[in-house]
Structure 1
Amino acid sequence: MDVNQRAYSGAHVLAIGWLGPLMVNFAWYANLFFLISVALLLGKRSAVWSSLLAAALPLQTITFVKVPLNEAGGAVGVFGLGWGFVVWYSATLLLVAAAGTRQIELHADRRAPSAEMRQWGLALCLGFILFAGALALHDRLRANTADGERLRQVAFKRGAVCNIEQPRAGESTALGDGPLEVRTLDGSSRLAYPFNDVRDLLNWGIPTVRAAGRDYSFAFAGDELVLTSVPAVGPPAATLVVDPGTPQNKYAITVSLETGQPGDEPFRFTWTKDRGYGNGYCPDYATLPRPGEQPREMLEQALALGPQASRAAVFNTRHEQEMKRRNDESKGPVMATFLGESGVPRSEPSLDVPGQSGRLQALALALARAEAMRLERTRRMNVGCPEGTGWLSSWQKVPYAGSLDIDAGVPFMVDERAFYLKRSLPVKAVCVGESVFTYHEVAGDREGNRRLAIDKRALADFRYLGAVTIVLPKPVLTPGADFRLTAIEEHDEGMSALLELEKTGQVIAFRAPLNFKR
């Protein structure tokens, strides 16, 4: 059985075991020598070497630590070995005893050294059965509840069983309206899953999560639920401290909850990585925990996130309804009409640094060029947007992360407030008056035409106003060309836009016959 509690039948193992040499494991081929030995014994012939090989090859099962899942190298750890393995290996040892008996019959006139195989085969078979039984009993007496349930499907665990029960929080601490701060013990950027995913923490019912100096929460922009963050203000209601392990003890994750009151620590617990199999922990630790799994359950108990946490479920439901409405509006992409094109040469900004010379000037020039490129890239991603408004590039030191590895996605900034729609897209925008058009490219059609998904939002509060998907035929935009929109205008006949090719600076004008719906 693997660590995902998937049991493999004997028939399944027989069907795929011949691929073992790909993992430098030849245990399956003991079956061939077993059959050869049986055939030799039935023919009243010697089966010494074939029976010994049949008994020796299964020992490589001990080194089999992972089950391959696919051709890409994916694998899952082996949790334990079943009673079928015990019966199988016992049969190979009995075969050794039978081969020894055959030697006695073939050499009745003299005692051949190999005749002692019978005694050794019987002794090893009995010893193995007693050892397997003792190990199975030992595992069941020491295992915690979770490992005890898994042992129902196997004879014994491949490594040491976990004898530590799952933790339970002490006295609950209600957060109220205050945020839960998440930080690492040593101030490093490494946050262990699932604590680096702000959306997951909020979905568990935590109203506000503080990380790296920003407060994250779900909020409605109009009737659409979005993830937002603002600079942190005031002290947190509680602090979750995560120690993902040190170079000296990299096989442990320690999580503690601090309320700020002296001596008040609702929980502190350490999960130790089980190096005996797979990527499991003792006790169980889920990187994507469902309700009832650790460490989510302990945090919900400590913060009293019971039925009142249904707020997150309501948010998710409304979010799903909103996304369905948006998808319905975006169906049936419209075809753009080519209006014309012109070549616009792009001028490079001057980067001369007066008063410098030699290596110092070269260094200053390089730094100035890098800063100019960063500012230019941000400006080109957000055409016509006010200062401090627009998408941040994914390689910038974005304010939502700081020095902490928080998985929230690339934000759209409106002054100090950040809005997160998806993990990374869209990443470009055009601001027109009191509106902002965010856009990204989606999969093209079979003819090679490229498609552009555009959302219209209110610039003040990022409220959703409409969506449209436009097909850009090859005469308008060739496959593979990088581009940005530089202007959008709405009118009675639909919308018109200017598109600039990033590499050449060529500007292409096109029109689409559909207004944004709202």
Structure 2
Amino acid sequence: MVLNSSLNSDASTRKYQSPLTYIALYLNRDNTYLQLTYLSIFLWVLSLLFTALTTYYGNHNLTGLDILYTGWAGPLVLNFAWYANLTFGISVTILLSGKAAPILSFTSVLLASNTFFFDKIPSSTTAIYGYGLGFFFWGTAILTCLIASISRDRKLRKNRVSNFATFISILPLTLFLIYIFYNTASDHMTAANFERDRLSKSLFKKGAICKSEIIQPETILPSTTPLEIIDLGGYTQTEFRKPEKLLKHGVSRLRIDGIEYKLTPTDGTSTIKKSSYSNTKSATLIIQSDNTKVSKHPKWKAYIDSNIDNQRYKKLTLIAPDKSIIFEQKWIKDKKHHYCPRYYSAGGKLQSDIQLILDSLNL
């Protein structure tokens, strides 16, 4: 009976051991540090083959190998992440010789973390859009090397790796993996369609993901509807400064600053004719930006954003002749000067503001 009670007690103890205990037992094995070292080398080599950093337009995406060739120039822009490769290489060499390098491995982690604190690719003015698989493998390699160093250091000091030491050693890697997987899942599930296109070669975006799509007009106006432009300042797109831009896209009549413009066929071509306003009611396109001041345009204050968040933006409001709102569309600019939703044209399409106007006029 005593023997059975003892066996049941031991079985109960083993049954309720925490995961940390099992990890600690693994880290206490003699050859664990070598297994982890070889794994970190494998992951580092793998990182060279995949895209590590992506850009907004995909024309300067960098693999780990690209960064290995050029990243040494990082200090010129106060970026020292590349030098984590040097400390990582030395740490691995020391581990393979049977010694430990916990401080050097931790230095690799600190240097690698600098990757999160720069916005442009080293030796370039190209803005970073996001991080790819190469970055994931590279970061995992460096953090795995840290665990190997701690495991070997404890062994050489003839100290068992306790549950607490295990927790400390695996915490950076655990947080890194959680960060990667959470951001990857969140960005891909919530991104707008154009963002998903950009994310095709990225795990996740460096900044906030854009979740907004271009809105659809509430109603469609007749294509013959005249369009009056009210520019409240700060919006400098040539499409609205030059009447021919919208007229050649099919707008029947365009009214700017008291002058009406329309295309008139002449000898097989079309020329722009100017005249004073007719009595025909028109749709009104209100143009504004973050520089627009209500005090300067009190007549249109109902359509001007207060911008209490100090955002940089462009905004168009199209009002029908009967004063109903056809659409209100805002494009918010991020710190890297890119808009949400997509503003500039892509894939041969018209710029999004022009396309929205044409859609509203059934053109």
What is the letter of the counterpart of residue 257 of structure 1? L
Matching residue within 129, 147, 155 for 1:105: 155
Query: 1:117/1:82 Cα in 2 relative to 1: closer, same or farther (>3 Å)?
Result: farther
How far is the alpha carbon of 1:222 from its aligned partner? 5.8
What's 1:252 paired with?
A: 313
Pick the aligned partner of 1:120 from 149, 168, 188.
168
2:133 matches 1:83: yes
> Structure 2 vs 1, CA of residues 281 and 11 (structure 1 numbering), >3 Å: closer, same or farther?
same
The reply on whether 1:2 has 2:30 as its aligned counterpart is no
Kindly report which structure 2 residues correspond to 1:182-197, keeping only aligned pairs within 5 A, or say none.
Answer: 182-184=229-231, 187-188=232-233, 190-192=235-237, 194-197=239-242
**Match of residue 50 from structure 2:** none
Match of 1:269 in 2: 329
* 1:215/1:76 CA distance change after superposition, 3 Å: farther
CA distance in 1, matches of 2:62, 2:240: 33
Contact 1:103–1:112 (8 Å) recurs in 2: no
Distance change (3 Å), C-alpha of 1:290 and 1:181? farther
- The offset of 1:27, in angstroms, is 0.8
Q: Cα RMSD (Å) of the superposition?
A: 3.1
Partner of 1:204: 249
Structure 2 unaligned runs (5+)? 1-53, 293-306
* Secondary structure of residue in 1 paired with 2:352: coil
- Does the residue aligned with 2:229 lie in a helix, a strand or coil? strand
Q: Distance in 2 between matches of 1:44 and 1:62?
A: 33
Q: Separation in 1 of the partners of 2:221 and 2:239?
A: 21
Contact 2:91-2:101 within 8 A present in 1 as well: yes
CA shift at 1:93, angstroms? Answer: 0.8
Given candidates 165, 168, 179, the residue that maps to 2:216 is 168
Asked if the contact 1:162–1:283 (Cα under 8 Å) also holds between the matched residues in 2, the reply is yes
CA 1:203/1:68 → structure 2, altered by over 3 Å: closer, same or farther? farther
Contact 2:230-2:286 within 8 A present in 1 as well = yes
SS at match of 1:188: coil
Say yes or no: does 1:19 pair with 2:94: no
* Structure with larger RCO (C-alpha < 8 A, sep 6+): 2
Q: Output the CA distance in 2 between the equivalents of 1:211 and 1:101.
A: 74
Residues 27 and 58, structure 1, Cα contact 8 Å, conserved in 2 = yes
Q: Does 1:52 align with 2:106?
A: yes
Where do 1:209-358 residues align within 5 Å? Answer: 209-218=254-263, 228=272, 230-235=274-279, 237-246=282-291, 248=307, 249-262=310-323, 264-275=324-335, 278-286=336-344, 290-291=348-349, 293-305=351-363
State the percentage of identical aligned residues.
Answer: 26
Conserved? CA contact 1:193–1:288, under 8 Å: no
1-structure distance, mates of 2:64, 2:346: 31
In the TM superposition, residue 221 of structure 1 has moved relative to its aligned partner by 6.9
Question: Given the alignment, which residue of 113, 116, 119 partners 1:62?
Answer: 116
Q: 1:145 aligns to what?
A: 193
Distance in 2, Cα, partners of 1:20 & 1:69:
7
User: Normalised by the size of structure 2, how large is the TM-score?
Assistant: 0.70
Larger helix fraction of residues: 2
Q: How far, CA to CA, are the matches of 1:100 and 1:68 in structure 2?
A: 32
Pair 55,181 (structure 1): closer, same or farther in 2 beyond 3 Å: same
Contact 1:94 1:121 in 2 (8 A): no
Measure how far apart 1:55 and its partner are: 0.8
Contact 2:315 2:330 in 1 (8 A): yes
Matched letter for residue 357 of structure 2: L
- Rounded to whole Å, the distance in 1 between the matches of 2:233 and 2:149 is 63
Q: Secondary structure at the match of 1:266?
A: strand
Report if aligned partners of 2:151, 2:161 keep a CA contact under 8 Å in 1.
Answer: no
Contact kept, 8 Å, 2:315 with 2:328, in 1: the verdict is yes
Tell me how far 1:39 sits from its aligned partner. Answer: 1.2
Higher strand fraction: Structure 1 or Structure 2?
A: 1
Question: Do the aligned partners of residues 121 and 49 (structure 1) sit closer, same or farther apart at CA in structure 2, a change above 3 Å counting?
Answer: same
SS in 2 for 1:31: helix
Determine the structure 1 residue equivalent to 2:92.
38
Residue equivalent to 2:4:
none
Q: Distance in 2 between matches of 1:288 and 1:181?
A: 27
Bigger radius of gyration among the two? 1
TM-score w.r.t. the length of structure 1 is 0.50
Say if 1:146 and 1:202 are closer, same or farther in 2 by CA, change over 3 A: same
Q: In structure 1, the residue corresponding to 2:85 is in which secondary structure?
A: helix
Aligned partners of 2:264 and 2:90: how far apart in 1? 71
Aligned-residue offset at 1:193: 6.0
